[in-house]
A and B are shown apart, each in its own frame.
Chain A
Amino acid sequence: MAPVRSLTIIVSFVGFLSGLTATAQSQEAAKETTKSPAAQRPLGIGQTPTEELIKAWNIDIAPDGANLPDGSGSVAQGQKIFADTCAACHGEHGTEGPMDRLVGGKGTLETKKPIMTVGSYWPYATTLYDYIRRAMPLTNPQSLSADQVYAVTAYILNLNKIIPDDAVLDKHSLPAVEMPNRDGFEHITAPGGVTCMTNCEPLVGAPKAAAPQAEPQK
């Protein structure tokens, strides 16, 4: 079945249905919606959120730094917060674990034992702010203030020698931080196999197959 086509049918069907049920709904509800954008919604379902609600929910941070909050934090401030709230899981130096290693690994990605950390692998510093604010610490998420998140972000970047000891991060300086692996990502299509029914290479212990050409895909 063609999904787009079937969807069109369904949406038009419900458009028809909603026309019928609208008469059964209270006249008051109709009055409330006539002044709001809801009246323009094709099916008239849902509410128009207030600006305050959208602002409170809208916590994601884009790579360009859009939506970063006011406030600031220094490496020194971050060191104390990290010791108190992060080191138990990530280690005193961000390398010991047991949870994700945050520090080091520079120059290891192309080796047999790559170490993938904020410093060696993450392409955007803004992602660090976004993730700490929404999900860290694991046992008490969304408990850090905007200033504290800036500070912890600064400390982790400093441990990775990406920003200096006296750095202070805010909504202007954070998106300007250049991550070492910024250009390390692209999309590679998956390799496929071949159909062979008789006299095929055995699966286990077979000579190594020639590497299929992986074509970058836009």
Chain B
Amino acid sequence: MTKSRNGTAIDRHRRQFLKTAALGGVALGGAGFLTPEAPAAEGTEASPLIPPSMLVQGKPVASPPYGVPSEFEKHVVRLANDRTATPFSSWSFTPLQDLHGPITPNGLFYERNHNGVPTINPDRHRILIHGLVERPVIFSMDDLMRLPSISRIYFLECSGNSSSEFTKPATDIRWSHGLLSCAEWTGVPLAALLQEAGVRPEGKWILAEGADAAAMTRSIPIDKAMDDALIAFAQNGERLRPEQGYPVRLLLPGYEGNMSVKWLRRLKIGNEPFMTREETSKYTGLLPDGRASQFNFVMEAKSVITRPAAGGTINGGPGLIQITGFAWSGVGKVRQVDVTVDGGRSWQSADIDVPILPKALTRFRLPWRWDGSPAIIASRVTDETGYVQPTREALLAARGNEFHYHYNAVAPWKIDAGGKVTNAYGAGA
């Protein structure tokens, strides 16, 4: 591998990055074509002159009718949490380290269920809107399809994502950050449904209820309902998966995932929050003085390096790699992502993939020539409001160790001389 003139330093400017990448490309090309180790005419077992795939017919079309990933990608699956008391009220993690773009495939979208995934026949499913409305109304799925639907890309993050980092930092990015996914959602603006019912002026909160065995309920502020809330029935172009709320769910962009009630069955308009179990005894953050912060709806700006990431390894030794990850903000767009490779002493701005969408995962990337010595890398996002992702120290100073929810601090990964990547805050979980 050709050594960069810049050594191990991050290339500060895009122009320099392109130049460096070009050098890397030439170096790789040289290894592959200009100085082959074996004579090209003979080939090798690993790279035969004519691969077997060219010598036999492949599979026919629609094998199978609903396509699945390559057999060589079978390791890319959700990780079920096996530490909860029951698998019915539990969660599974998205394998962020194996994703390559901001859209999460539907089969890899994280789950959080409170009493299992229900089986719901869409023909028998209804959504009731009542309470402080002029005209109570009940919609079938066919009714819903007659209303105007829109498609928007939004992330969903469990309020408890990264809760491990408050107390026992996780050894693997799935455990530390895997309750995060992003999809294109198709649905009817909640405001359109509410217009059919006619919300009375005193209606300030909406109780959303699911048709699952937990009968999940959360209180939604009317302003959010009228702003960008969706009644979503499709995800990444197909109907919702059962574990994502089939046949229909609420989708509150930028808000903690629990509020986007799945299997939505009822919306009741009231004048006060309903104080359900999930917004009093759960999803509230305990502060060091014994008080608790309630109604922490917005998921604050956060970023994480997904490759290389804790639990993984830099394969192939020193040389050029691409540091990449996701940044997001529940209030809007990502403005800037900074990356450090020296443990936070200095930072450089990363390239951000466009288009930058509000309340959606945004991919960032920075090329880095790793020289093989131990290093600590991390990312830090600034969103369009100017809010900067805090350090763990700043977050814990303000919220203590028992807040449990809304952990959005900078996540430093430690790389050892062998390329093994771990959580720089140490192994605890």
Contact = CB atoms under 8 A, between A and B. Distances in A.
B280 A37 contact: no
Interface string A104-130: 000001100010101001111011001
Contacts of A10: 148, 150, 189, 192
Contact of B227 (A3, A57, A142, A214): A3
A3 B228 contact: yes
Majority SS of interface residues in chain A? Answer: loop
A190 B295 CA distance: 12
B147 A99 contact: no
Interface of B: 85-86, 88-89, 114-115, 128, 130, 134-140, 143, 146-148, 150, 189, 191-192, 195-198, 207, 209, 213-215, 217, 226-228, 265-266, 268, 270, 272, 274-277, 280-281, 284-296, 300, 338, 340, 343-348, 376, 378, 380, 382, 387-395, 397-399, 402, 406, 408, 410, 412, 414, 424-425
Given A38-B135, A122-B280, A196-B347, 13 more contacts: A7-B192, A43-B195, A47-B139, A99-B85, A135-B214, A138-B115, A184-B291, A186-B292, A190-B408, A191-B395, A193-B389, A204-B412, A212-B390
Contacts of A204: 343-344, 376, 412, 414, 424-425
B354 to A, nearest CB: 16
B284 A197 contact: no
Nearest to B227: A3
Interface stretch (A58-66, A73-81, A161-169): A58-66
Contacts of A7: 189, 191-192
Interface string A181-218: 00011111011111111111111101011111010000
A57 to B, nearest CB: 6
A62 B398 contact: no
Given A42-B196, A141-B213, A123 B226 contact: no
Contact of B137 (A13, A49, A110, A194): A49
Nearest to A98: B85
A40 interface: yes
A94 B387 CA distance: 43
A116 B281 contact: yes
Contacts of B228: 3
Nearest to B425: A204
Given A98-B85, A184-B291, A203-B410, A14 B380 contact: no
A62 B275 contact: yes
B213 A60 contact: no
Contact of B146 (A45, A89, A134, A135): A45
A203 B343 contact: yes
A4 B229 CA distance: 11
Contacts of B402: 114
Contacts of A123: 275, 280
A120 to B, nearest CB: 10
A121 B136 contact: no
A30 interface: no
A35 to B, nearest CB: 13
Given A60-B207, A99-B85, A134 B217 contact: yes
19 contacts: A7-B192, A13-B148, A40-B135, A41-B198, A45-B196, A47-B140, A48-B136, A49-B130, A49-B136, A57-B266, A58-B130, A109-B286, A184-B290, A192-B300, A192-B389, A192-B390, A199-B345, A203-B378, A209-B393
Contacts of A187: 293-296
Interface residues of A, number: 77
A58 B295 CA distance: 23
Given A43-B147, A63-B275, A124 B280 contact: yes
Given A11-B192, A46-B139, A191-B394, A116 B215 contact: no
Contacts of A60: 207, 209, 217, 268, 274, 276
B347 A200 contact: yes
Q: Sorted from nearest, which 3 A-B pairs have the closest CB atoms?
A: A110-B290, A203-B344, A191-B398
A97 interface: yes
Nearest to B136: A49
Interface string A1-13: 0011011001101
B316 to A, nearest CB: 26
A201 B344 contact: yes
A202 B130 CA distance: 54
A12 to B, nearest CB: 10
Contacts of A63: 272, 275
A204 B130 CA distance: 52
Contact of A185 (B284, B388, B391, B424): B284
Contacts of B88: 138
A215 to B, nearest CB: 11
Nearest to B133: A37
Given A41-B135, A97-B85, A185-B292, A127 B394 contact: no
A176 B413 CA distance: 52
Contacts of B344: 200-204, 206
B115 to A, nearest CB: 6
B130 to A, nearest CB: 5
